[in-house]
Amino acid sequence: MAAEPQTLGRYQLERVLGKGAMGIVYEALDPKLHRKVAIKTILISQLDEETAKDFSMRFVREAHAVARLNHPNIVQVYDFGEEGDIAYLVMEFIRGNELKSTLTTGQLFDRKECVRIMCELLDALDFAHEAGVVHRDIKPANVMLDNQGRTKLTDFGVARVTDADRTSAERTQAGTMVGTPAYMSPEQIQGLRIDRRTDIFSAGIILYQFLTGQKPFSGEGAWTVAKKIIQDDPPIPSSINMALSPEFDRVVAKALAKHPDQRFATAREFAHALKRAAEGKPAIPEAEPTVVVPREPRVPHATHAPEALRSGEMELEFWRSIKDSDDPNDFELYVRQFPQGVYASLAARKAAKLRSGLPADDSGTRTMAGADRTRLQRSVPRAEAEESARAAVDKTIKLADAPSAEPARAGKRRSLLVPVVLGVLVAAGAVTYFVVVKPSQQSTAQKIEAEAKARRDAAEAAKAEAQAKRDAEAKAQRDAQAKRDAEAQAKREAEAQAQREAEAQAKRDAEAKAQREAKVQAQRDAESKAKLAAETSLWDSVKSSRKPADVQKYLKRYPNGQYAEPARQRMLELESARLEEAAKKQKEGEKKKPAIIVPPTF
């Protein structure tokens, strides 16, 4: 896209959460419900018609699958649609991280936290299985942990619903390999019929990573990993993490059993066994031991591979998984597995270029997927016809080699020569036995005994080597544990030292603060004392004065002073004295006035 869209449908796009080769995941706002959502998009204009149809169908499948799954540990899907050349799926927005981002660092979870996360995942799987939905792509990238640490299972884009709810087209694809190779079950890789137990196998791989910090099946190239999943048993978890009890080994072994019948029947049963192992109880009842199903001998040549591995759909899935690889072994394996395949010549050229150190030209890998499917559909009937013709030829050869009745009758007519011939043969046989066969038998017996001894020696050497390897792994584990303990001890000591220094600094700061406060208090006390002395001196100078103005001077300067009340009393006394003096003078004046005698009037 030249410019990213601002809206999709009614949803307002806010920011990009992640980008992939074929699409983008956005954080968006649903204006109708005023809630955050996550929107997964695919730019279908960059795909051919068949692939675009396939991804659109996956979006519809995911929406339909999750619509029936209302569970707290399953990410909800709200809506889906297409706008222009963009197909989109609207999901619940989770604030958190993918489990993949933690597991890829090799970090070991706390045992209790590991069991909790796994049990929440298994509870979500059991709910989906009971609703008739098989996820088919359980992996850490499809498991999220929100900010509260709750597990959220997402991405049901390759989920398969029960036959009752599938279309006829979907039923024809039951044998197609769909999923992520490192987390597939053996039956998924081989394109066989699958059920809920394929999700249990994938969940067992995640549990193995939780317990050991590494994947149980790893190697160079997707097909190498797939072969290990089908043929090899991984090291038991306790050989990598010696803190694990044997009960965890039993749980993992049952979850990763090659044959579905030997795995846990349900995710709920898986979770129950895991909880019992965490509690130190027997994870699996003795009446239900984990049995390793004998596998077919490894097939040395590709022409004896299972029919599902030679199917056209399988060839296409395999080619898609390796077409961008830089490993020549992947392309050589493709040629061995599919010598008459659509891409056999191209794979041979890419392998040769990679072996010679030249960059592989990927122009031939951009063939339209629709054309791929058409050629594959045409090649499969042709291969079947060739196989039928080959069977007919074999049958003809067998008939030609069968003994005929006519030569037998002719042999009877020549019966006169039989005694002579038999006599010669007996004599020759006797000479051959005593001269050649018997010494040869003796040398053969010696050779067999030598080979047996060599095999015993080799077995002893292999056993010693295996024991040495286990001892080395155990020592490495102990050394690693000792290193972790030393680092933890150093960290604790550093933290303790930092805490002591912080406490000492806090104590110094408190003492400095106390000194400053004491100094300020002393200054206040000195100022208060000086102020009190000045007030006392002024009061002493005016308290005996008979002038109200002097006392008024004190009250004006110290209206709330300690002598304010006596000063007011003094003011009242002086005022009373002034009034008495005035009254006395008035009386004296009246006495001094002459008496005026008014003569009587007759």
Q: Specify the CATH number for the domain of residue 106.
A: 1.10.510.10
480 found inside a domain: no
Asked whether residue 338 falls in the same domain as residue 268, the answer is: no
At residue 196, φ and ψ (nearest 5 deg) are: -60, -25
- 564 or 314: whose pLDDT is higher? 564
Q: Does residue 150 share a domain with residue 4?
A: no
Collect all residues with Cβ–Cβ distance below 8 Å to 44 and sequence separation of at least 6: 52, 55, 56, 82, 85, 86, 87
Cα 120–Cα 121–Cα 124 angle in degrees, nearest 5: 85
Between the alpha carbon of residue 469 and those of residues 231, 238, 241, 466, the distances in Å are 22, 15, 15, 5
Same structural domain for residues 201 and 253?
yes
Residues 7 and 132 in one domain: no
pLDDT-wise least confident of 59-63, 270-274, 546-550:
59-63
Both 266 and 336 in one domain: the answer is: no
User: Are residues 89 and 101 located together in one domain of the fold?
Assistant: no
> What is the rounded (10 degree) CA torsion for 227, 230, 236, 239?
-10
- Confidence class of residue 217 from pLDDT cuts 50, 70 and 90? very high
One domain for residues 207 and 269: yes
Confidence band, pLDDT 50/70/90 cuts, at residue 358: low
Select the highest-mean-pLDDT range: 76-90, 269-283, 309-323.
Answer: 269-283
**Is 344 contained in some domain?**
yes
User: Is there a domain that residue 152 lies in?
Assistant: yes
Q: How many domains does the chain have?
A: 4
Domain-terminating residue out of 304, 330, 354: 354
Can 137 be counted among the known catalytic residues?
A: yes
Q: In 3-state terms, what secondary structure has residue 180?
A: coil
Asked whether 462 and 455 are in contact (CB, 8 A), the reply is: no
**pLDDT class for 420, splitting at 50, 70, 90?**
very low
Q: Which residues form the domain of 63?
A: 1-93
Averaged pLDDT score across all residues of the chain? 77
Q: Which one of 75, 93, 111 terminates a domain?
A: 93
SS3 191: coil
Both 80 and 228 in a single domain? no
Output the pLDDT for position 354: 84
pLDDT, mean of residues 336-341 = 76
Q: Name the pLDDT band for 295 (thresholds 50, 70, 90).
A: very low
Instruction: Please tell me the predicted confidence (pLDDT) of residue 552.
Output: 87
* pLDDT computed for residue 370 by the predictor: 44
Asked, for residue 65, whether it belongs to a domain, the answer is yes
Confidence of residue 294 (pLDDT cuts 50, 70, 90): very low
The answer on pLDDT for 234 being more than 90 is yes
Q: Please say if the pLDDT value at position 413 is more than 70.
A: no
Residue 388 lies in a domain: no
Give the whole-angstrom CA distance, residue 567 versus residue 552. 8
Position 574, amino acid:
L
Q: State the amino acid at position 179 in one-letter form.
A: G
Catalytic residue among 137, 155, 249, 372: 137
Pick from 99-108, 395-404, 582-591: least confident: 395-404
Lowest mean pLDDT among 104-108, 141-145, 376-380, 489-493: 376-380
pLDDT band, residue 430 (cuts 50/70/90): low
In a domain, 149, yes or no: yes
Predicted local confidence at residue 463, as pLDDT: 82
331 and 221 belong to one structural domain: no
Confidence tier at 254 by pLDDT (50, 70, 90)? very high
Mean pLDDT of 50-74: 78
Please indicate, yes or no, if residue 155 is contained in any of the structural domains: yes
Same domain, 113 and 243: yes
Residues in the chain: 602
Note whether 73 and 128 are same-domain residues. no
Percentage of the chain beyond pLDDT 70 is 72
Compare 18 and 123 and report the one with higher pLDDT.
Answer: 123
Q: Which of 76, 93, 110 is at the close of a domain?
A: 93
Out of 51-60, 65-74, 442-451, the most confident range is 65-74
The model scores a pTM over 0.85: no
Same domain flag for 42 and 55: yes
Pick the more confident residue, 484 or 401: 484
pLDDT number for residue 338: 76
pLDDT at 162 over 60: no
Q: Tell me, yes or no, whether 266 lies in a domain.
A: yes
